[in-house]
């Protein structure tokens, strides 16, 4: 599934690190689900924090309809510069994930 | 997902990331749950990954997971029942009557025209064994990791790897800058078809090559009713393999054949879609059959 923010997020490097851990497909899928959902919550939190309550509801409605153009049109009007914020929170989360993976390697 | 891992480094990550996931969820709903209580959500769309822990009216599944394959199974199971009476026991080329019967059934059930022949061109068979293929390079410099939009994509499809060579028609786009959604979907849902065995191929190579390039097809797993709309983007497999066509990792997943031997019997027909109105990807039967 392609998310409206996918083009702003670089997460390949996390996959590369995980691929070095000798995980089974099931294990990869489990971690992948946690990663995707954590990232999704983190990014939506960053966006919603920029919006009023009524705009939050309007945004969620756009999100539920899945039309990326409409989502970005709305965000460009209501939350100027939110792309940078999305990139930043994703980068911060990724950094935390790297550190976790580094610690996991020590246990291996 | 219920499974046990004996790997301590995986267990460490699992616990750590589960804990972080829960904390992220709690924070999200604590901050925004009040405002979102009143949201009337029509479809899930981008909410698939939103996991309400305490609140509210938005009831969504926990994850988009491997279980999502079964969504197609549930609705298409009636199709499987219908096909069980029409598909021969042996995986052999279909008789003309069987072919007509099946294309009629599939056309009605899916709501678009399914046919074994277009412009007098047909394949050597329409019922055969499909095997799992690797990803294809989509543009110069493409990498396996670039194929994944999400971590789940990576987990589900990454292990298939990327073929060392290109598809029969080369790259899907001439450069990363030219790479668009159409090209992306074509690689995602591609088939390798034994186009070289099509009657008349040897005498009309150029015409057939152009005809088959990104030709849209419907592939159906007759045992489950799972079906995928895909395009021809490669030629193969070789006859000695015993397989008759190949499917991308996403196609195999959509057909319910991604696990185990990654092989199974499928029906495959052209879709007559001159206006390009049928989207690629897993497809469900229309209401007509579901109402039976």
Q: A24 and B5: CB-CB below 8 Å?
A: yes
In the predicted model, what is the mean pLDDT of residues B116-137?
97
Q: How confident is the model at residue B35 (pLDDT cuts 50, 70, 90)?
A: confident
pTM of the model: 0.80
Calculate the CA dihedral of residues B146, B151, B157, B162 and round it to 10 degrees.
20
Question: By the CB < 8 Å criterion, does A107 face chain B?
Answer: yes
Domain ranges for chain A, please list them: 10-107
In angstroms, the separation between the Cα of residue B275 and the nearest Cα of chain A is: 22
| Contact: A1, B156; criterion CB under 8 Å | no
Which candidate, A11, A31, A43, A40, places its Cα nearest to that of B13? A31
Q: What's the pLDDT tens digit per position in B170-215?
A: 999 999 999 999 999 999 999 999 999 999 999 999 999 999 999 9
Picking from B11, B24, B189, B249 by the largest number of A CB atoms within 10 A of its own CB, the best residue to mutate is B24
8 Å CB contact of B20 and A45: no
At a CB cut-off of 8 Å and minimum separation 6, what does B94 contact?
B88, B102, B125, B126, B127
pLDDT at residue B260 above 90?
no
Tokens 């990792």 belong to residue: B249
Torsion of Cα atoms, A60 then A54 then B53 then B13, to 10°: 60
Q: Do B41 and A1 touch (CB under 8 A)?
A: no
Q: Report the gap between the CA of A81 and the closest CA in chain B (Å).
A: 20
Size of interface A-B (CB pairs under 8 A): 179
Instruction: Say what the pLDDT of residue B63 is.
Output: 39
Q: Give tens-digit pLDDT for B40-71.
A: 554 444 555 565 444 333 333 333 334 444 44
Residue of A nearest to B65 (CA): A33
Which residues numbered 54-93 in A keep a CB inside 8 Å of some CB on B? 56-57, 60-61, 63-66, 71
For A23-28, the CB contacts below 8 A with 24+ separation are A23/B7, A23/B10, A24/B5, A25/B155, A25/B156, A25/B159, A26/B1, A26/B3, A26/B5, A27/B5, A27/B7, A27/B10, A27/B14, A28/B154, A28/B155, A28/B158, A28/B159
Place of tokens 């992948």: A32
**Per residue in A21-60, pLDDT tens?**
999 988 999 999 999 999 999 999 999 999 999 999 999 9
Q: A57-107 pLDDT, tens per residue? A: 999 989 988 889 999 999 999 999 999 999 999 999 999 999 999 999 888
Residues of A in contact with B39 (CB under 8 A): 57, 60-61, 64
């Amino acid at each position: 599934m392609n998310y409206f923010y996918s083009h702003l997020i670089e997460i390949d490097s996390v996959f590369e690190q995980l691929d070095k851990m000798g995980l089974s497909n099931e294990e990869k899928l489990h971690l992948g689900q946690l990663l995707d959902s954590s990232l999704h919550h983190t990014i939506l939190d960053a966006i919603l924090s920029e919006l009023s309550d009524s705009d939050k509801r309007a945004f969620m409605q756009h999100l539920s309809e899945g039309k990326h153009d409409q989502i970005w049109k709305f965000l460009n009007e209501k939350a100027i510069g939110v792309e940078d914020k999305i990139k930043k929170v994703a980068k911060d989360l990724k950094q935390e994930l790297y550190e976790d993976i580094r610690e996991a390697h020590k246990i291996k | 997902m219920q499974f046990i891992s004996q790997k301590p480094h995986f267990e460490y990550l699992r616990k750590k990331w589960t804990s972080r996931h829960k904390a992220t969820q709690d924070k999200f709903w604590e901050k925004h749950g009040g405002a979102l209580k009143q949201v009337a959500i029509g479809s899930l769309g981008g909410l698939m990954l939103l996991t309400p822990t305490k609140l509210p009216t938005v009831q969504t599944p926990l994850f988009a997971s491997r279980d999502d394959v079964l969504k197609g199974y549930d609705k298409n199971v009636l199709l499987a029942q219908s096909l069980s009476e029409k598909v021969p026991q042996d995986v052999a080329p279909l008789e003309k009557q069987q072919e007509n019967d099946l294309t009629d059934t599939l056309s009605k059930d899916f709501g678009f025209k399914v046919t074994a022949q277009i412009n007098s061109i047909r394949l050597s068979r329409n019922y055969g064994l499909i095997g799992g293929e690797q990803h294809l390079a989509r543009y110069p410099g493409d990498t396996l990791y670039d194929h994944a939009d999400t971590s789940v994509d990576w987990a589900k499809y990454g292990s298939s790897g990327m073929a060392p060579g290109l598809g029969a028609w080369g790259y899907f786009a001439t450069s990363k800058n030219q790479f668009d959604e159409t090209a992306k979907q074509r690689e995602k849902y591609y088939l390798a078809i034994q186009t070289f065995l099509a009657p008349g191929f040897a005498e009309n190579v150029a015409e057939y090559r152009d005809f088959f390039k990104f030709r849209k097809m419907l592939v159906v797993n007759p045992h489950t009713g799972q079906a995928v709309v895909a395009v021809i983007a490669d030629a193969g497999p070789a006859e000695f393999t015993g397989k008759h066509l190949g499917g991308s990792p996403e196609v195999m997943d959509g057909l319910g054949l991604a696990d185990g031997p990654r092989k199974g019997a499928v029906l495959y027909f052209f879709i007559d879609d001159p206006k390009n109105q049928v989207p690629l990807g897993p497809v469900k039967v229309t209401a007509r059959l579901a109402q039976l």
